[in-house]
Structures are given as C-alpha cells and as structure tokens.
Structure 1
Amino acid sequence: MSFSTLGLSPEILLAIGGQHYSDPTPIQSAAIPHILQGHDVIAEAQTGSGKTLAFCAPLVQSLKKSVRPRVIQYLILVPTRDLATQVAMTLEALTKNTTPSIKLAVLFGGVSINPQMLHLRGGADIVIATPGRLLDLIDHNALSLSFVRSLVLDEADRLLELGFAEELQRILNLLPVARQNLLFSATFAPLLNELATKLCQSPVRIQVPATETAKPDILQRAISVDASRRTQLLRHLIKMEGWKRVLVFVATKYSAELIATKLRRLDISAEPFHGELSQGKRTQVLADFKASRVKVVVATDVAARGIDIEDLPVVVNFDLPRSSDDYTHRIGRTGRAGASGLALSFVTADSHSQFSLIGRKQGVDVRLESIPGFEALELPIKAAKISDVNGGVKGLRPSKKDKLRALAAQQSMSTGKEE
C-alpha cells in the first residue's frame, strides 16, 4: 500500500514525499481515510509508529480556506512543550507550500506569554497547545475556540496522568458540541477509555498491535548493580561499548542534574533535561544532542514523549520508571524509523520487585546480567506491598529504615548458611 491509495491530495503527497517517507505505517493506513471522512477516531499504536503524521496529513488536507480574521479550525492538545514542538515540525513540513498559506500557533508554558499573544493577532488556523498555557491565553482573550472543527488529543493518556483532567474539562466546555474528536495514544488506561467513551460519537477504534514485524527492533537488557555504583557502571559501558549517543532516564530533576555533573567530571559530555529548565536551554540541549556535541542527556520522563531523535542507539533506565506504560514510552525513544536500538535497565536491590512487575506487564522476560567488576553486593529487598494500578508500580513500600533492617537480616541469614 502507498500513501496515494489513502485519499490524500497531490499537494499533501508531494509534501510527504519531500520528508522521505516511503510507505505508510499500519496506523497511518488505518486512520487517514477515516479522518478524511470526518469520523471520530480512537487510535492506539506503539511509540514510533507514525501517529503524528496519521492525524496531521488529513487535517491539513481538510482545512477550509482561511478567512480574515482567521479562526481556529483544529486544536491539538499535547502534554508537554517538547511534544508540541515535535507536532509543529510535522505540520510545518506538510504546510510549507500550501496555497493559501496556513498559520500555525504553538502554545506552551515556560516562556513569555507576550510573543504568543502577538502571534495570535489576526487568528490562526491550527493551534498546538499544552492545556495550561491555552487556558492562560483564553483568559487573556487572545483566542477563541468557538469555531474548532476537530479536536486532537495526542498522547492522550499522558494528559490525564499529568493532572490535566480538570483543565481538559474546562477546554472541552469551550468547544463546539458538533466537532470531530481524535484520540491518539500508545497506551489506553481505564481512565482514558472512560474519557473516550464520553467524548466520541460512534468512533472508529483502531488498535495496531506490536507484532514481530511491526514493533521496533529494540534489544532489552537488564543489569543487576548496587545503587551507589550505577554512575561508574554507566561510564564503563559508554567507554567499553563505544556508545556515541545515550539517553539516560532518571526519576527526579535533582538526579538529572547530579548525574550529568558526575559524568562531566568523568570526562563525558553530558547535560540534564527536565521540566524546570527554560525552553531555550531545553532546545539547546536537544540541538547539541542531535548534533553529537553532547554524548549523554540525563532526563526525567519529560523526554519520554514527543522527543524524536534520529539514530539514538541506546536508552538507559538509570532509575526504573514507575509504570509499565512509562517503560514503553522510554524505550520507544530508540529503535525508531527502522533502526535497531538497545534499551538497558539498571536493577538495584530495592527495585527488583518493580522490575519483575514491569516485565510481567510487558510480557517479556529479560534476564538479569552482571558486569565483571560491578557485581551487586546488596541483596534484593522485597516491598511490603505492591499494587499495580493502571499499569503502575505503586502502593505501600518499606521505609528506608525498614529496608536497612531487611537487608541486615537477609545478610545475616546468608552468612549463617555459608558457615
């Protein structure tokens, strides 16, 4: 199947060809015709499967001729500014040579609101926005949603996970009742299914399973290591394996800053990447990473969605994610566009249970390895209780004192057996 069989116009096909796309991916083949026909669509497909182009191409083709002042016809809501930028890049490529010209507005926080207000003077045809900044601009009377024809929720599950539910409801109340609704996500938790049921009218449901032929070529590995030796192990692997570019995921912005600093002291170029950085700094870090001026980016989960880096060979879970869904999105940063990739997880004494649960949810059995010279000395500590809620690894966990007591008891038992 080719893009020409999906009902796309010659103008859109030319733009797609200019981006060096070959044949449509399964999600693109399934979704594009239904979107062109005006149906509501609920689409689930793995990270890196081409979801962005799947909704951008038909929307650009269906855009009505602009009037003056322009009115917002399409609203695309995303959870992070980085994903907003990524979607905008796809739309800019598709609209570069359209006649008449199409005006895009990319709206997110972390930067001054004034330039965005100025850009919205005279209106816009398509808005890509994070919910909070969109509502700020609405409160400033900078835009209206009264004429929106299509609403897109991109990475819809993340919108709910990040606490946007209340803001999302405020936005929905401002939209016309008669509109097209498009929900795209790599994972659909129960809460998202509930939203989809309320939002959509007779939707077309599309689910593209990660089959052996369709799923990315990602080798998953896991290494057992003491928590205190992870940075040294990371340095060792970078040097020994000759990795040219590595995306390292950690749990907190503090860890991102700390580990990046430690790596620089070990003569490895590294930068942190998290939500507290200015937009200018985040843009610069990604540009340096893509250009190989920086070898390692140490990031929180803000980089797990919407960051598309060509030829990213390695992703490392320095800290394990809190949920199986987050694990999916993290490792999906590698093995993109037909390339192969490596996803490596560090498993410490207090994350064995978490690692096992993620493995069960993923349906994979990744064998724990040991690296000579970095063998784990601490024994695994079992959590007091683990509750898997919506794919998450949450619940009651032992305190630090409890962990130390358990470790001491286990070591004492082990010593007794050896004697």
Structure 2
Amino acid sequence: MALLNFIDGLFKGDKTKTKPPVRNSTATQKRYYADSSSVAIEERPYYQQDSYYTLVVHEGTQFEKKVIPFNERKTVTYPSKNGLYVPEILLLEYCKYGKYPKPSNGYPGFWWFDYGVRDVGSLLDSLRSREFIKWERKGNLLMNLNVNELREILRAHCLSTTGKKGELIERIKSDIAEEDLPNNVALQKYTLTEKGIEELKENAYVPYMHNHRHKTTDDSTFGEPFTVWEMNKIIAAEGRQKEWETIVGEIERQRFGVNMAGSQGTTQNLRTTQEVPSEKENKGEELKMFLRENRKNIIAAANTEGDGFFEESKGLDYCTIGNDKEALYQFYVAIEKKFDAPALYKETAKLLHKYGLYDEEVKVLKKGVAIVPATNRHREELLKMLQDAMTISKTR
C-alpha cells in the first residue's frame, strides 16, 4: 500500500511542496540602457542600437563611470544668460556647419556619454522653438545635389539645362521661386539665427573645451578635472563669458605650461595669412640657426626623466598657438629621448616642411621609421612621408 501511495505521489506531485512565485510582469525591472522612447521613428536610423547607450561605462573596472543624464546636469551646472546649457550651446556649433539634423554619419556617441543627451532631435526642436536655429533655405542646399538632379529641377520648369553645376544653381535661384523648389531638394538642415550666432559667440568656451586635447573625465581619479563642466562652474556661474579666454588660458598655463586659449585670435591670423616665399626662406634659416644654437640644450633636456611624452604634448600645445619655434624645440627633445609615437615624427616633419627644411625633414622621418615599432600601424604613414620627402629633397 505504501508503495502504491509513493507511485501515486510521483504522478500527482507533492501538494505540500511550495510552488515557485509567479513573476509579476509589471514589476520594475532594472534598466541598463538610456530611455529612447522620445526618439522619433524617422530619426532612429541616425543612432546606434539602444543597447549602445548604457547607463554605466567601463563597468567593473577602475574606469567605471555613471552617465549623467542632461536633466540631472541641469541641477548642478549653470545656463547662459539666454538660458542655454552646455549641450545646447554645443549643438549650435554643429548647426553652424549645416550638419544637423540627421547627420550623414549619425549622431556621435558623445552626445549621450559626455553630455547625457539621448534624444538630440528633441533638443534641436527646442532650440528652434526658442529661435536659436532655423531651417536653412532650400536654395542654399542646392550644392548638395548632383548635376543631373539640378537639371531635373530646371527641366520641370522648362528652363535651359546647359552649363556647369554653378551655372545651373544660379539659374535655379534666379528663375525659380523658393517655394516652388521640390521638398526633396535635400535633407533639410538647420542654420543659426542671429540670436543663435550671438549666443555661440558669447559662449565660445563650450566648443573650445569640447575639442580640447587635454580635457579629462569628470572625476578626479587621474588628477584635477579639466572639463567643460568645470569651466562652466567658473565662467557661467559668475557671468564671465567675455573673459573666458583669459580664465581658461591661465588654467592652461598653470597645468600645461602653455596658454592656448589666450592665443585664439593670433592663431587664426597665422593660419589664414599667406607667406611670401622669401619670408618663408628667411624663417627657415632662422629656425635652422635656432636648432643649431640650442643643440646642447636639447641634449641636456633629453637626459632628464621621462620618455618624451611630456615634451611631445607640450610641442603640440605650442603648435596650437602657432609658436613653431618652441614646438620644434620640444619635439626635438622628445626625439632625442627616442619617444616612439608616430605623431611626434609626423608633426615635426610637417613643421620642417612648412619652412622648406627638406633635408632636416628627411632626417627626422628616418629616425621615426627606425624608432617606431614595426607593429605600429601608423609606421606605414611615416614610410610614405619619408619617400615623398626624399623625392622633394633631391629636386631642391
């Protein structure tokens, strides 16, 4: 009888056994990714998959960092006098170049990971509603079309289709009303309004810090933070936007030894000024003499501690402000230390080439090819530069 009861229990199951709890499907589940529910359907192709936008990066490592959403950032940062926060000001910079919305390569990940903005499109809509940006005129987008597309527009209005691209565009602009141009002239892009232009000009520290080569992470794990958020606390908190170059430049001088922000206007002039050949030759001779006279100092500096990274970095900073003489000095110290970064030799060669010092350029590139490991994928670029430099040097 006991055996029968046992067998019966196998088929019926033990009614006294505790059943597993039913999982409540409405219970709050842990979310690992940013909420993307507000992203418009037509905008989704311009983002990565939702799983890309994690709430934590480098989880479980010493670099672990929680992404701070924009709405949280607002509570601890300061708006401009017109009420714009850092990410909104940076968006103006991208609209200035006619890239947004729906950029050809998609929205970069930094909008989420650095600025906490998951839905860039909504922020753009907000900027448009506040009249910082506006839709670019269709006529200004004609350059995005190819010749056949331009001819189709002209043909539809019974106009001549002969001529080069520039002529076709001018004919369309002069003979076809803006409202009569097809809606599919190109993907509509935003441009800045006068209000937006002024806002970006007043808060130029934002794009400057966004592109800064020395910017750090938010925390102080690897030293004092140097971020747009830190500058925001100093500059925007006290309404000192007009002094931003002085403020940031002094911090740069203290931390990196070079005031780059304070040289913005000067550097721009250096980049746009065309040198007369005789002036270039004179500067080349001056640089050659400078390097020769400082040879002992360079050797002495190369015998100090460090692998050359600091000197290369400082040289790049001097390049930023157009101080080529000091840049070369730092680069040569790094080269004497046999620093093996390809960029060091590329940038040094570019400066030497700029001043017509072609033989010296060849020497530097030969050193680079010898020092940079063969496994470094950028070494091939040095070899190509060396071949070109040798060809030019032989013809001089």
Shorter-chain TM band: under 0.3
TM-score normalised according to structure 2 size: 0.25
Higher helix share: 2
Q: Could you say which structure has the greater relative contact order, defined with CA pairs below 8 angstroms and 6 or more residues apart?
A: 1
Higher strand share: 1
- Which has the greater radius of gyration? 2
TM-score normalised according to structure 1 size: 0.24
